[in-house]
Amino acid sequence: MMVVQKYGGSSVADIERIKNVAARIEKRVKNGDKLIVVVSAMGKTTNELIALAGKISSQPSPRELDMLLATGEQVSAALLSIALMELGVRSISYNAFQLNINTFGEFSNARIADINLNKIYSELEARDVLVVTGFQGINPEGDLTTLGRGGSDTSAVAIAAKACVPCEIYSDVAGIYTCDPKVHEKARKLEYITYDDMLELAALGAKVLHSRSVEIAKKYNVELICLSSFSEEGGTRVVAKLPEWLEQPVVTGATIDTNQLKVTVNYLPGDTDILSRIFNAVAKASFNVDMISVVNENGHSHLTFTVLSANPAAIRRTIESVLKDIDGWELTLDDNVAKVSTVGVGMRSSAGVAARFFSSLQKAGVRIIATTTSEIKISVLVPRTDASKALRVLLDEFDL
């Protein structure tokens, strides 16, 4: 059986962990499996490489930065292949250039266009394991490109989708939990989760899987399972629909996202043109808008929205540039906020979920600043000091 495995940075953080991964792979090979193993860079290597570039330039060339960052995965791929050979496993490592992993789009956030499997298939005829660098590809000009945050997950699931084989994602946790077990000690591990729920949780900050990898898995119905590289504990399967024997929960999981900057602009002229101009400018400046609230009062509009990973000074300049010819408005920025969310496909068919959500927060004295919802998600913006309390209340309310 052919299987794609992916090992994250924590799984290959040092030589002992690389040897541990090699031993795990050896067991699978002895059971008769052929493995395509996708690896991330060791530990914090990517961050260290970015810091090195920063010591030379405050704005390094995107092309050269991708050239630099792509070396991290090549180191871990080669070391893992060497470790496998020491165990007598027939192994070879390859980078994206050698395997024709073709990408398009901008540097540091490229997307996979196609993968040529001929080399993979021919190598696995003579070998048991092919170790592949994750996070990277080659654009039409022949330049190395990186796939952005969670890129190794994307590489692994894309290869599995192309080859029509299962994909196993290994990290330092034993699966997908109702919330981050590092945040709440009573978080419960899920045996199954739907693609839709996982997409929402990933987009809301859950770190086990990146949303782009889940999108690919859903589109091509990839058999996906999340496991720990440090234990033999059973993991979590990501599926199109839950098994019929399993009772569908109303709420599947909850998250906290502290990567939020709240922007409030009061006393704007009460017309949609101003709002349109503000959001066009914000988009042009590449800020990622998340939550939005508009209140109209006495001919004025009061706008509140949040942006992700934002530099307060930069967002201030952007807003001021739009409103420079308008009088009377007030701008405030606040990064002492967090977004707390619950997710569950069961919300579609269950009445009263919103009432339970807001009632439980009200009873706990949590102040709600803004709200956004979808069919399977409720998110609220709260003061950062209330975020942990809000999460615990919701975990208790929905038995997570």
pLDDT, tens only, 54-92: 999 988 999 999 999 999 999 999 999 999 999 999 999
Asked if pLDDT for residue 284 goes beyond 90, the answer is no
Asked if pLDDT for residue 299 goes beyond 80, the answer is no
Most confident of 147-156, 201-210, 246-255, 297-306: 147-156
User: Would the annotation count 151 as a binding residue?
Assistant: no
Asked if pLDDT for residue 222 goes beyond 90, the answer is yes
Give 222 or 283, the one with higher predicted confidence. Answer: 222
| Rounded mean pLDDT, 257-264 | 86
Query: Which of the residue ranges 12-21, 25-34, 143-152, 240-249 would you say has the lowest mean pLDDT?
Result: 240-249
Q: What is the CATH number of domain 2-243?
A: 3.40.1160.10
Domain ranges of the chain: 2-243, 248-400
Going by pLDDT thresholds of 50, 70 and 90, the confidence category of residue 206 is low
Give 362 or 399, the one with higher predicted confidence. Answer: 362
Asked if pLDDT for residue 250 goes beyond 70, the answer is yes
Give 32 or 209, the one with higher predicted confidence. Answer: 32
User: Would the annotation count 27 as a binding residue?
Assistant: no
Which CB contacts under 8 angstroms, 24+ apart, belong to 291-294?
291/260, 291/339, 291/370, 291/371, 291/372, 291/379, 291/381, 292/370, 292/372, 293/370, 293/371
- Residue range 348-367, pLDDT digits in tens: 767 788 888 888 888 888 89
For residue 247, the model assigns a pLDDT of 67
User: Would the annotation count 73 as a binding residue?
Assistant: yes
Between CA 201 and CA 176 the distance in angstroms is 10
Going by pLDDT thresholds of 50, 70 and 90, the confidence category of residue 52 is very high
CATH H-level superfamily of 248-400: VC0802-like (3.30.2130.10)
Contact 337, 306 (CB under 8 A): yes
State the average pLDDT for the chain. Answer: 87
Asked if pLDDT for residue 34 goes beyond 90, the answer is yes
Nearest to 308 by CA among 216, 375, 379, 359: 379
Going by pLDDT thresholds of 50, 70 and 90, the confidence category of residue 3 is very high
User: Would the annotation count 208 as a binding residue?
Assistant: yes
Report the DSSP pairing between strands 167-171 and 224-228. parallel
What is the identity of the amino acid at 158? A
| Rounded mean pLDDT, 313-339 | 85
User: Would the annotation count 121 as a binding residue?
Assistant: no
Asked if pLDDT for residue 327 goes beyond 70, the answer is yes
Longest dimension (CA), the chain: 77
User: Would the annotation count 175 as a binding residue?
Assistant: no
pTM for the predicted model, two decimal places:
0.83
Asked if pLDDT for residue 317 goes beyond 70, the answer is yes
Between CA 126 and CA 298 the distance in angstroms is 76
User: Would the annotation count 346 as a binding residue?
Assistant: no
> In this prediction, what percent of the chain has a pLDDT beyond 70?
97
Asked if pLDDT for residue 246 goes beyond 70, the answer is no
Angle (CA) 125-126-131 rounded to 5° is 90
Asked if pLDDT for residue 29 goes beyond 90, the answer is yes
User: Would the annotation count 9 as a binding residue?
Assistant: yes
Give 241 or 101, the one with higher predicted confidence. Answer: 101
Going by pLDDT thresholds of 50, 70 and 90, the confidence category of residue 184 is confident
CB atoms within 10 A of CB 57: 10
| Rounded mean pLDDT, 365-375 | 85
User: Would the annotation count 241 as a binding residue?
Assistant: no
